[in-house]
Amino acid sequence: MLEIKNLQARIDEKQILKGINLSVKSGEVHAIMGPNGSGKSTLASVLAGREGYDITDGEVLLQGNDILEMSPEERAREGVFLAFQYPVEIPGVNSTYFLRSAVNQIRKHRGDEELDAMKFLKLVKTKMKELGLAEEFLKRPVNAGFSGGEKKRNEILQMTMLDPSLAVLDETDSGLDIDALRIVADGVNRLKNQNNAQIVITHYQRLLDYIVPDFVHVLYDGCIIKSGDKTLAHDLEEKGYDWLIKDS
């Protein structure tokens, strides 16, 4: 599914990713943990194609295709989805209009029939119900004035609607109450199948009780310094990062 080889990236002359290697197969869930400022969001942004990074070395293959040369929209159409750590407020842009445009853009790319307004509404309302989002959100501008938790749930709604093959969730659990956490996790688990994969960036082992990872990686200072199974998350919860950092 995803093959990251020796990925190095810098921004404004500052080297942030210093050689990341990561291999994610279809059907797998990978968790990435690591202290603040270690480069987790940077990795997510580079995967999604945000501009402003200088990729100094390495490659990223999605189903065998080099995506580093692709625009953000091409990557999204090829199945990459980033749930933002800080979803952007877009005043004045109606949520329904935005989401339907996005869904149809991606359906078109996949050769699926575009959804008319009725079909779209029916689908989105079902998904919103599952995520505990009130229908009135559809009438509001994208993320504008949403609470922190509402923004995160809205990311998951978008993910559900776009049905990506590779979803990268950047701290989607931060700021969620316990119930919302379970709802969001359920959303991710429902999406999961043998043909897609998820990368879950988090600071808390708690989330991984709900979204059970096949692998856990620790990112520190732009490198993955440790990988393991889900028990690694428990160790980190208990011991923090110091013991790993000293070793590295």
Partner 1 sequence: MSSTTVINLAEEPANAFAEIKRRGTALLPLRQDGLARFQESGFPTTNDEDWRFTSLKPFTEMPFETMFEPTIQTIGQSVINGIAFSQHDTDRLVFVDGHLSSELSQISNQSEGVIVSNLASALTTIEDKIGALSGKDQNPLIALNDAFFTDGAWIHIPANQALSKPVHLVFLYTAIKDGQASHIRNLIIAEANAKGTILESHISLGQAAASTNVVTETQLGDGSNLEHIKLQDQSSLAIHLASLHSKLGSDARYAFHSFALGAQLSRNNLRMDLAKPGIECMLNGLYMTRGRQLADHHMIVNHAAPYCNSHEYFNGILDDQSRGVFHGRILVEPEAQKTDAKQTNKNLILSDEATVNTKPQLEIYADDVKCTHGATIGELDNDAIFYLRARGLDSQTARRMLMHGFTGEIVERIQHNTIRDELNELVWGRLENEYHLN
Ligand X SMILES: Nc1ncnc2c1ncn2[C@@H]1O[C@H](COP(=O)(O)OP(=O)(O)OP(=O)(O)O)[C@@H](O)[C@H]1O
The values of phi and psi at residue 16, to 5°, are -110, -45
Residue numbers 156-185 binding Mg ion by CB under 5 A:
none
Residue numbers 4-23 binding ligand X by CB under 6 A:
11-12, 14, 16
Residue 38 contacts which entry, ligand X, Mg ion, partner 1, none (Cβ below 5-8 A, type-dependent): ligand X
Which CB, 145 or 240, lies closer to partner 1?
145
Smallest separation, CB 192 to Mg ion (Å): 23
Q: What count of Cα atoms within 13 Å lies in the side-chain half-sphere of residue 206? A: 15
Q: Residue 157's closest CA among 93, 98, 240?
A: 98
Smallest separation, CB 129 to ligand X (Å): 31
Contact call for residue 41 and Mg ion (CB under 5 A) = yes
Which CB, 128 or 233, lies closer to partner 1?
128
Tracing tokens 């190095």 back to the chain, one arrives at 8
Contact call for residue 36 and ligand X (CB under 6 A) = yes
Q: How many residues bind Mg ion (CB under 5 A)?
A: 3
Is 148 strand, coil or helix?
helix
- Using CB under 8 A as the criterion, which residues of the chain lie in contact with partner 1 when the complex forms? 48-51, 71-73, 75-77, 81-82, 84, 87-88, 90-94, 97-98, 101-102, 105-106, 109, 141, 158, 162
Could you count the other beta carbons within 10 Å of the beta carbon of residue 242? 9
- From residue 48 to residue 87, what is the string marking binding to Mg ion with x (rule CB under 5 A)? -------------------------------------x--
Residue 30 contacts which entry, partner 1, ligand X, Mg ion, none (Cβ below 5-8 A, type-dependent): none
Contact call for residue 225 and ligand X (CB under 6 A) = no
DSSP states along 71-123: -HHHHHHTTEEEE-SSPPPEEEEEHHHHHHHHHHHHHHHHTPPPPPHHHHHHH
Q: What count of Cα atoms within 13 Å lies in the side-chain half-sphere of residue 153? A: 25
Q: Residue 211's closest CA among 153, 172, 165, 164?
A: 172
- In this structure, the strands spanning 166-170 and 223-228 are unpaired
Q: Which residues bind ligand X (CB under 6 A)?
A: 11-12, 14, 16, 34, 36-42, 85
